[in-house]
Structure 1
Amino acid sequence: MNHTYTRQRGRVHTVAAVIALSFAAISSVTPAQAAPYQPAGTIETTYHAAGPHPVTTRAGTDCCSSTGDVFDIWYPADLGASATRAPIIAWGNGTLAHPREYDYLLRHLASWGFVVIAPDLTNTGTGAQMLDGVSYLTQQNSDPGSEFYRKLDTGAVGAMGHSQGGLGTLNAAARSNGLIKTAVTIEMPSQSLCASLPPLIPGQNVCDIPTTVISGSVLLISGTADPVPTTGTTGGAMQGVYDALPASISKARASLINASHNDIQGQPGCTNLGCNDGVEGYLGYLTAWFMDRLRGDSQAHRVFVSGTGEFLHNPHWTDQQSNID
């Protein structure tokens, strides 16, 4: 079943204590429409385009997480048409956000053969409900009555999240006992900012991420125009998270030039505050990362190789670093 969502204008999704302070200066400004994004790399161009699969969604019909939240799911409409099983990506929203506000991004990933599951809650920092989503799909994969029966690659699981959802992504990866093979954070608030706020989730310290026990691979993404202190607003903040991750894992980081905190919510242009250019600049390399890490795509892998990778020399990006060989 396909669903068309009405986007909410003016919602700013970040840690609550920073909302008014960070966006007061732009609260009455309607974002200008940016010129269409043009990929700057050959491989970026490949994955920036929509994938080969038509996409369908299930919204609010799959229940429930450990805290009673329904799941929204994006997946290829032709799931199961080939012998290849689909990898799973768990998504974590930013504070106050809902999965439908990232529809363009999540639909794009599904068009490349991924099944994306997102708990519909506004505090994802623990990562617990993201892991619940993976468990739910794992059960569905074993249920003969399910649409997903034997169509999912439950050994190829990734996680990705925006803002507070970035904290949730790393927390989920750290607590997954290796189930999550790769984690991607987008505009994750800096550790210093996170630690200075009242608890985002009462009774749980989501800021103290056990980075040393994360395995697999991690990609840290931010924007240079984000007014909220994040892991990528300056090289130093993102560098600290990057360095805290084990040297034994594959990891990369970069900042998208001129991206603000909520560009990732573009559909594809900007109709929401905290957005400068929209989501298009993220599409190519986020897709390539998951194609490499969850589907073993050798072309996508070359993008991130230290020293030579296209991602490290793309003029749309800055502050790049990678240890991938």
Structure 2
Amino acid sequence: MRKFAHPRRGVAVVLIALSVLAAVAIGAAPVTLAEEPAPPPQPAEIAPGTTAQSVFGKPGPYRVATSARIHPCQEAVYGMLAHIVVHVFGNRDDLTCTYSFPNGLDSPIGVQTYFPENIAELPAAPLIVFMPGILADPGMYDGLARQWASNGFVVQIAHDFFNSLAYVPALGLAAAVVADRDPNSPLYKKIDLSRTFFGGHSAGGQAALQAGTVFPPVASLIDPAMKVRGVLAVEPGPLAVGALITVPTMFLTGYNDFVVPDFAWVRWWQYNLTFNAPAWIANARGVSHFSPVDSADGYLSSGTALAWLRYQAFGDETAEQFFVGPQWRLPADKTYFSVERNALADALT
């Protein structure tokens, strides 16, 4: 397999990140064309009482390749403190970290990449640009990233330690554009920018919502093929407003979350004000603010997150049954204390 590193990759990422931000302001226009998306799979019959987690909360068919160097967080003092905190709040699994400062000596600013190992044999894959929570290490989301990549996505975890504002997803998007254009990259012409998603947890969730506000109107200026298909906001921070979102959005909250309570801003001025795009919100029982850094099978909403992403990216009709139509399955999913969708989502057929 070709190496991830390229002698001018860092410079190229910075330059394209600047061009992405410039496109928002003045409209630059680089050129890349994406391949046709893969055809959707055939729907499966879903029995009554089936949860999204039981169907989608598991690894996909592909082995995963990644640029991330993962180690136990307990190997660093900062990581040990984080490890203790999440276990106090009920996490099941031990935390994993990269070597990004303060969990190592690597730069705290960067992008970690995950993708199907056999991507050279596959059609161009949809892109997820994901941001960690504030002060969180990207390696803490290794489980979610691997789950998504094993199901056919390219995942870019963009991070700068604070992970709170739209320039962080701009960095991840820039890295994806560089990789898609670089003949020395294993992702050369393998990222389908016409199926771009932003996602994030906590502060990273608010950055994803900001990206869902800023980038859809200028996507074609960044790349003629680019289209933002949706935002996955996991227990997001307060610095985003739903009225500005114009792409489908999934809000995931936790009943045991005292940092981002389901009844607070995530409803007041985010979900409740999402008038211009279909939106869903699901409040999971037994989920705390730190549950998303557990492994994918330990975080009880990971199956719903993947189902929503597959529905939006691949037109997966099995996944679609949880979100669309008068008999949509998510309200009956015993994982959730409450589930809602807005009028635009309710009108989907």
TM-score of the alignment, normalized to the shorter chain, above 0.5: yes
2:140 corresponds to 1:101: yes
Letter in 2 for 1:213: L
Instruction: Give the 3-state SS of the residue equivalent to 1:252 in structure 2.
Output: strand
Asked if the contact 1:88/1:157 (under 8 Å) is kept, the reply is yes
Structure 1 segments (4+ residues) deviating >6 Å: none
- Structure 2 counterpart of 1:257, one-letter code: R
RMSD over aligned Cα, in angstroms? 2.6
**Aligned counterpart for 1:138 among listed residues 159, 177, 182:** 177
Q: Distance in 1 between matches of 2:253 and 2:210?
A: 18
Residue identity matched to 1:259? V
Q: Which of the pair is proportionally richer in helix?
A: 2
Question: Which of 313, 316, 324 is the matching residue for 1:305?
Answer: 324
Residue 80 (structure 1) aligned to one of 90, 112, 120: 120
1:143 shift after superposition: 2.1
Which of 155, 158, 173 lines up with 2:194 in the alignment?
155
Alignment partner, residue 228 of structure 1: 259
- SS at structure 2 position matched to 1:312: helix
Single out whichever of 164-173 and 138-147 deviates more from structure 2: 138-147
Aligned to 1:187: 235
Q: What code does the residue aligned with 1:265 have?
A: V
| Distance in 2 between residues matched to 1:90 and 1:165, nearest whole Å | 10
Per the alignment, in what secondary structure is the counterpart of residue 259 of structure 2? Answer: coil
Map 1:122-271 onto structure 2 (within 5 A): 122-178=161-217, 179=219, 180-189=228-237, 191=238, 207=239, 209-230=240-261, 232=262, 234=263, 238=267, 240-246=269-275, 248-267=276-295
For the residues of structure 1 that align with 2:260 and 2:112, how far apart are their CA atoms? 29
CA distance in 2, matches of 1:182, 1:110: 17
Q: CA 1:286 to 1:237, structure 2 compared with 1: closer, same or farther past 3 Å? A: closer
- The match for 1:318 is 337
Letter of the structure 2 residue corresponding to residue 79 of structure 1: I
Equivalent of residue 111 in structure 2, options 58, 61, 71: 71
2:303 pairs with one of 284, 295, 316: 284
Contact 1:50 1:112 in 2 (8 A): yes
| 1:201 alignment partner in structure 2 | none
Distance in 2 between the 1:241 and 1:175 partners?
15
Alpha carbons 2:58, 2:296 under 8 Å: kept: no
1:145 Cα deviation from its structure 2 partner: 2.1
Residues 16-51 of structure 1: CA deviation (Å, up to 9, x unaligned): xxxxxxxxxxxxxxxxxxxxxxx9526543312211
The answer (yes or no) to whether the contact 2:128–2:199 under 8 Å persists in 1 is yes
Normalised by the size of structure 2, how large is the TM-score?
Answer: 0.67
Give distance in 1, aligned partners of 2:156 and 2:137: 12
Q: Distance in 1 between matches of 2:176 and 2:296?
A: 28
SS in 2 for 1:226: coil
**Within 5 Å, which residues of 2 pair with 1:38-57?**
41=50, 44-57=53-66
Instruction: Write the letter of the residue equivalent to 2:272.
Output: D
Which sections of structure 1, spanning at least 5 residues, go unmatched? Answer: 3-38, 62-66, 192-206, 270-277
Decide whether the 8 Å contact of 2:243 with 2:270 is kept in 1: no
Contact 2:57–2:296 (CA under 8 A) maintained in structure 1:
no
Amino acid at match of 2:55: T
Q: Structure 2: any 5+ residue segments left out of the alignment? A: 4-47, 70-97, 99-106, 220-227
Q: Are residues 210 and 256 of structure 1, via their aligned partners in 2, closer, same or farther at CA, if it must alter by over 3 Å?
A: closer
Identity %: 24
Pairwise CA distance, 1:262: 0.2
How far apart, in 2, do the equivalents of 1:91 and 1:300 lie? 21
Residue equivalent to 1:275: none
On the 8 A contact 2:257/2:289 being kept in 1, the answer is yes
- Letter of the 1:133 counterpart: G
Return the alpha-carbon distance in structure 2 between the equivalents of residues 40 and 72 of structure 1: 37
CA distance in structure 2 between the partners assigned to 1:268 and 1:49 by the alignment? 7
C-alpha distance in 1, partners of 2:164/2:61?
A: 33
Cα distance in 2, alignment partners of residues 105 and 183 from structure 1 = 15
